[in-house]
Amino acid sequence: MNRIALCALSLAALVSFGAAAQEGTLKKVKDTASITIGHRDASLPLSYYDDKQQPIGYAMDLCAKIVDAVKTELKLPKIDVKYQLVTSANRIPLMANGTIDLECGSTTNNIARQEQVWFTMTHFVTANRWAAKKASGIKSLADLKGKTIVSTAGSTNIKQITEINAAQNLGMNIISANGHPEAFQMVETGRAVAFVMDDIILAGLVALSRSPGDYEISAVALSVEPYGIMLRKDDKAFKAVVDRAMTNIYKSGEIDAIYSKWFEKPVPPKGVNMNLPMTAAFKKVVANPTSSGDPKVYE
């Protein structure tokens, strides 16, 4: 192929890609009558597998409401919902390349990530902490000095603890795990003394462990982490529909029953009850919905 033909072909591809990007998710859903939801396998109770390996959870219920709103917006009789398992490491690339249309899990919305993806209204506010065995005596960051700790690859948590390690010269050996269960197992088996992660994820893993009473989640909070349902960047039309759906859930009071179902009652498959009433930070979001990635907004 000569250089002129190659340039023409490349230009055509770019034009085609640009047109597709401008058309956005709403057109994609309308043309295919389907939508793909990215979900997690072990982010209890937000997004995880039940005993039949079906994705369920608080974020999944919210996404179901969003899909209903999209169906109404597009005047479609039915939307085929497809599910795609994602990890902390691949969720942003899979959103950016069009594999998934909504990511319904436990993803922190921050300003850095907004350079790659967008988020709808915050649906939970958590904090970055660590879980350790009570017998370890780990109570403060100073107690972690020189110790081996673990966090999940691709998470904001591992990035933050790495930065703290360097800034405070703690000499921690920080290892990454492919998923939350693997990271927690490292603490269970003594390969790491602590697992640094969002407190709600830690609480779920501790509750499901063989001996929940053996573990303690730190009183120390390293950061505030607002969770958001992720969507593609620069897709204003789709974000408008999704934001409107989330705002309606909050303003109508529907959020109260959905939240209580997953955080204040026993959840499948083992009947674990998180016993976590809605926090003041999240009540603030419900009253004034926001998709801000600035943690100060949630303090």
Residue 275, pLDDT score: 87
**Residue 135 structural domain:** 127-224
Answer yes or no: do 21 and 99 share one domain.
yes
Share of the chain above pLDDT 70, in %: 93
pLDDT level of residue 299 (50, 70, 90 thresholds): confident
Show which of 224, 254, 289 is a domain's final residue: 224
Residue 13, pLDDT score: 41
Answer yes or no: do 81 and 139 share one domain.
no
Strand runs (DSSP E) across the chain, as ranges? 34-39, 42-43, 47-49, 55-56, 80-85, 102-104, 117-119, 124-133, 148-152, 173-177, 194-198, 215-217, 223-227, 230-232
Answer yes or no: do 37 and 14 share one domain.
yes
**Distance separating alpha carbons of residues 290 and 1, to the nearest angstrom:** 51
Mean pLDDT of 166-176: 97
Kindly report, residue by residue over 192-251, the tens digit of the pLDDT: 999 999 999 999 999 999 999 999 999 999 999 999 999 999 999 999 999 999 999 999
Show which of 166, 195, 224 is a domain's final residue: 224
pLDDT value at 3 more than 80: no
Answer yes or no: do 31 and 87 share one domain.
yes
In terms of DSSP H, where are the helices of 109-263?
156-167, 180-188, 199-208, 236-252, 254-263
pLDDT value at 23 more than 80: no
Residue 20, pLDDT score: 40
Answer yes or no: do 167 and 95 share one domain.
no
Answer yes or no: do 239 and 117 share one domain.
yes
Tokens (6 digits) for 3: 């250089």
Answer yes or no: do 16 and 162 share one domain.
no
**Of the listed ranges 5-9, 154-158, 191-195, 241-245, the one predicted with least confidence:** 5-9
Q: b/e for 108-118, b at 16 or more Cβ within 10 A?
A: bbbeebeeebb
Answer yes or no: do 42 and 165 share one domain.
no
**Distance separating alpha carbons of residues 65 and 146, to the nearest angstrom:** 47
Kindly report, residue by residue over 102-150, the tens digit of the pLDDT: 999 999 999 999 999 999 999 999 999 999 999 999 999 999 999 999 9
Kindly report, residue by residue over 57-74, the tens digit of the pLDDT: 999 999 999 999 999 999
Residue 5, pLDDT score: 43
Residue 114, pLDDT score: 97
Which of 292, 269, 290 is CA-nearest to residue 42?
A: 269
Q: What is the mean pLDDT of the chain?
A: 92
Strand-pair category, 148-152 with 173-177: parallel
Domain count, the chain: 2
pLDDT value at 18 more than 50: no
Q: CATH number for the domain including 165?
A: 3.40.190.10
Residue 136, pLDDT score: 96
Tokens (6 digits) for 128: 């970055």
Residue 1, pLDDT score: 44
Strand-pair category, 194-198 with 124-133: antiparallel
**Of the listed ranges 21-30, 78-87, 210-219, the one predicted with least confidence:** 21-30
Neighbours of 197 (CB within 10 A): 32
Show which of 190, 224, 258 is a domain's final residue: 224
Give the three-state DSSP class for 268. Answer: coil
Answer yes or no: do 90 and 131 share one domain.
no
pLDDT value at 14 more than 70: no
pLDDT value at 21 more than 60: no
